[in-house]
Amino acid sequence: MSDIEINDPAENFPKYCDFFKYLLVEELVLEPDYRQIHYGKCAVIGRLCAIPDYFKLENVTVPHLPSAYRLPTGAVSLLLLNFSYDNSCTESLANGAYCIMRGEVVLCNVQKPNSPTLTTRGLHEQLLQLEDNDTVRSTFLEKVQKTHKPALSVWHSSRIDQAEELIQRRLEIRLLCN
């Protein structure tokens, strides 16, 4: 056995989340550091908002959170990709309906539509390729943060009732897992 430690930089990369982890719209939209954004599958509960060109998922108030952290429903919204009424899995999904969306988190370039999307891991890889220079890295990060926005590539959607209560229970379950 050798004592040499092999430092594989890939070990520090975020691991792909292989199950639909329940996340809040706020967690994805309000994260200032894109390197910390969830990588992989997730399930998000929110209110569907149809804007002429695209769809968004608005946050839903979490009733039991301390008032300092509680946002009113519709305060922030997450961009939805690959979603339309035609490929929605339930009937009667309409503007303003509460729903649960399952899919994958990506970083979408909002300045150049239809350009390839980025993931949190992709961001880490690109940062690794840059020189070991903090200023170069931070300018790159700033650039990405200006052009890209977190978005959800939707694989499955369904309309639900009791959205607030469900979010509450799901948060409590996450506490049990820690």
Partner 1 sequence: MTSLTSDDIEDQLDNFIIRKTNDQSSTYVARHKITNNGQRIHEHIPLLVKDILQSRPDADNKGAFSLFNPTELKYRNCLVYGFVAGRGVHNKSFYNYVLDDGTGTIQFCIFAKPREEKIIKCLYSEAKSLIGSVDTQKYEKISATMTRLLGKAMEYIDGSVISPGCNVMLYGRPNHFRDQIKMDVISFTVDNDRSRSLEIAFTENLIDYYQSHST
121 binds partner 1 (CB under 8 A): no
Q: Which is nearer to partner 1, 35 or 159 (CB)?
A: 159
Task: From residue 47, give the alpha-carbon distance in Å to each of 95, 96, 139.
Answer: 8, 6, 35
Q: Which of 35, 43, 125, 127 binds partner 1 (CB under 8 A)?
A: 43
State which of residues 2, 3, 19, 114 lies at the interface with partner 1 (CB under 8 A). 19
Q: Rounded distance, CA 129 to CA 137, Å?
A: 10
User: How many Cβ atoms from other residues are within 10 Å of residue 159's Cβ?
Assistant: 17
Q: Least separation, in Å, of the C-beta of 121 and partner 1? A: 20
Instruction: For residue 51, state whether it binds partner 1 (rule: CB under 8 A).
Output: no
Q: Is 84 in the site for partner 1 (CB under 8 A)?
A: no
Nearer to partner 1, 126 or 168 (CB): 168
Q: Does 20 interact with partner 1 (rule: CB under 8 A)? A: yes
Cα–Cα distance, 105 to 150 (Å, whole number): 7
Q: Does 39 bind partner 1 (CB under 8 A)?
A: no
Q: Is 177 exposed, middle or buried (0-12, 13-18, 19+ CB in 10 A)?
A: exposed
Smallest distance, Å, CB 132 to partner 1? 37
Interface with partner 1, residue 94, by CB under 8 A: no
**Count of residues interacting with partner 1 (CB under 8 A):** 24
Binding region for partner 1 (CB under 8 A) out of 7-15, 17-25, 65-73, 105-113: 17-25
Contacting residues toward partner 1, per CB under 8 A: 18-22, 43, 89-90, 102, 156, 158-163, 165-166, 169-170, 172-173, 176-177
